[in-house]
Each structure stands twice: as structure tokens, then as C-alpha cells.
Amino acid sequence: MIRDGSVLVEGDRILEVGSTRRIENLAKSRKARVVDVTGKVLLPGFVDPHMRLPLAHPRLRSFEQNIAGAPVQWDVSERPDSTVKFASPRSLRIAARRWTYLAAAYGSTTIELRSDQGLNIDAELKALRAARALDGDPIEVSTAFGASLPAGMDQAEGVERVLETLERLAGRPGLCSAVEVECGPRSFRESAARAILRRSRQLGYDLRLIVDSGGEGGHAGLSADLETRTAERLEAITEGDIDRLADSRVIALLLPAVAYHQGIPYPPGRRLIDRGAAVALATGFGADASPGFGMPIAISLACREMRWMPEEAIAASTINAAEAIGRADRIGSIEPNKQADITVFDVDDYREIPYFFGVNLCFLTMKQGRIIYRAGAPPALDALSERRSDPSS
């Protein structure tokens, strides 16, 4: 922590970080524009490494049924792939853009958006194109193809559909950078997940594994075996797999807001840290199935429900989260030569961010040296209105 600190930014990069007195005395500071955030807390911009592409409508009938006591399960008539199938590319971008601007308002400067359109190949490609078009509008967007097994589809057909999608993606470089595979009793079996991940690696994709929380453990060790970048969810992880993750370079990516919304056990975040595993935090947001939005709520839940200290949750939401999407070389921390991705919270102490549960205290968000959100008069929302009125957008 640097008390009474300053950051000197030139263009999209951080030049210097240190005490205000030292920074003010630098030659390059003499003509600099001053953004005064005295009395506030300045952090690296949050990185949310797991957001579902928010294209579908909220599943409100299922939500009401769950309130009435039914188990969490989604009405198939509200499937997201049907929304994508009949929507225009422009309407998809506008629907998703709403959430990227709100992410900036909550302090995020980078997110990873994941497509999961029920293995409808055309819908997957269409959704990924919509996600890719959001990069820089106004935050940095990484894209990933999500492979989970739809209900009623057998393993062989599911693997065939995934591999076909991968081959078509390979002919469209830049459309996505990672492949996420769900493994567990309600999705791909371990042998199928292994085959998909191996082929994904051959094609040059970053690897993610989601361990389905269907009451079984034991699959997280697959991440250590294949050295995926992340192993995710982990509500039912075994003690042996905790040790295997701790001995590997795999990052345990935890989604406490998903656990909260779905009423399932929280991941053993405290045990993972205490055993030496690398951990990162994400919202897991998806408007259709997991509506917990914004990194501050994920940080608060990590502290309250997984017993992380505030500084652990913040590190998991910044530098570790940047590592979880392979971008820690240029984002995730405030240091010279990194991108000027910065968020400012209107608090006296960083511990207030998780303490004020459900309150967004973000004051300012800067992406690559450009202010994209300021509380009270957010330029991002003005830009959104302008873009929607632009027929070329």
C-alpha cells in the first residue's frame, strides 16, 4: 500500500508509481493533467475471468419456481441458443454492450465472455462474433467457447459437435482464445472432457475446466493432469484434488456469486489458499442463469462466505484474475510499463469495498489511460446512447 500515492500515466501506459511528492517532482509531471482522487482508494482495474455472454433474456419463470421451493433447474423454452439463433448481429451486440458498460461502472476493465449455446454450431459462432465485436467497447474483452453437454444429448454426439465447432473456429483466427469444458455427472465424462481439451490444446487454445457441482468430486485432478490454465467452480472438490491443484500451476477460479444464486455449497476457498493453491475470483455472471453482477459483490461474498481476507479477495480479482486469462504481463497490477487500467473507489480504506455488501462505491474507472466511467456523470452511458443512434454500429 502507498499512502498519499500517485500514478503518472502517458498514453495507455503507466510511467511511474510512488508517493505524490516524488511523482509531482518528475519532469514529465509538470504538464500533466491532474485527476484528483484525494481520500479515495486506487486499485488495479478488476478482471472478471468468467462471464457468460449475456444475450438471453432472464429466466424469470424458473426464478419464480425456485422461489416457490422447486430445485434450481431451467425451463428449456427459455434456452439462450434460441435467442441467438433468431437475433440480428446488431441486436446481439447492443444487448451484450449494456453489460460491458455496467462492468466498467463496477470497476472492471477486462472481462472474459464465454459462449455456451447448447452446441448449436451456428449459434456458437454467431455469439462469439458478437462477443468479439465488444472488445474495447469500452473495456477489454477476451472470448472463450464453452462446451457443456445439453440435456438429452449423448456423450458421443456431444464430443462430435464440440470437435466440429473447434475445427470451424480454427478457420476463424481471433474469434476466441480459450476453450472451456464442463466435466461431471451432468455433462461430459472425464474421458470425453480429456479428449476435447487435448484437441483444443493442439489447435492452440487456452484451456479451462469447469468441475460440475452435481454431487461428485474427483474431477478437478484432470486440470492438474492436463495443466489447464484454470479449474473452476470446485464446490465438490476432494481433499486429494486440493493437494494436486496446490502442487500445480493451475489456478482455482471460484465463483461465489453462482453458489449464492443457485443455493449450492460455496467452494472451499479458505482451504485452497491455506494449502498453497493459486486462486482467482470471477462473477460467473450470465443474465439467463446467474445474475450476480459486478466484482464488488463477488469480493464481498468471498470474504463473508469463503473466509478470505479483503486483500486476498482483491488480489484474486486483479493480478491473479489477469493470470487466469493469460494477460498478467500487461494488466492486473499498477506498475510501470503496464496498461493504465485503474479503478478508484470512494472509500477511505480498501476493506470497505467488501464490507458494504451490495453497494457499488466505484468512483472512477480508467482503461488504457482513458476515463470510461465517472460516478455521477458516467461518460460510458453517454457513449452508449450515441452508439445506439449511430446506424453503422
CA dihedral of residues 31, 33, 36, 41 (deg, nearest 10) = -100
Residue 74 binned pLDDT confidence (cut-offs 50, 70, 90): very low
Q: Is the pLDDT of residue 93 over 70?
A: yes
Instruction: State how far Cα 389 lies from the chain centre.
Output: 29
How far is 113 from 388, CA to CA, in rounded Å? 21
Give me the amino acid identity at 66: N
Q: Which of 97-106, 142-151, 200-209, 377-386 has the lowest mean pLDDT?
A: 377-386
Backbone angles phi, psi at 237, to 5 degrees: -65, 145
Burial degree of 155 (CB within 10 A; 0-12, 13-18, 19+): middle
Task: Write down the pLDDT at residue 376.
Answer: 82
Among residues 324, 253, 325, 257, the alpha carbon closest in space to that of 289 is found at 257
Query: What gap in Å lies between CA 169 and CA 89, rounded to an integer?
Result: 18
pLDDT tens digits along 182-240? 998 889 999 999 999 999 999 999 999 998 765 555 688 899 999 999 999 898 898 99
Per-residue model confidence as pLDDT tens digits over 37-46: 999 999 999 9
Does the structure show a pLDDT above 50 at 77?
no
Counting Cα atoms < 13 Å in the Cβ hemisphere of 366 gives 24
Arithmetic mean of pLDDT, 111-125: 92
Q: Which long-range contacts (CB under 8 A, 24 or more apart) does 261-264 make?
A: 261/290, 261/291, 261/292, 262/72, 262/290, 263/66, 263/72, 264/72, 264/213, 264/235
pLDDT, one tens digit per residue, over 261-289 is: 888 899 999 999 999 999 999 999 987 66
Domain 46-324 fold is TIM Barrel (3.20.20)
Domain boundaries, the chain: 1-34, 46-324
pLDDT in tens, 243-255: 999 999 999 999 9
pLDDT of the residue at 384: 42
pLDDT bracket for residue 387 (50, 70, 90): very low
Residue 105 reports pLDDT greater than 90: yes
Is the per-residue pLDDT at 75 higher than 60?
A: no
Model pTM? 0.91
| 29 has pLDDT over 60 | yes
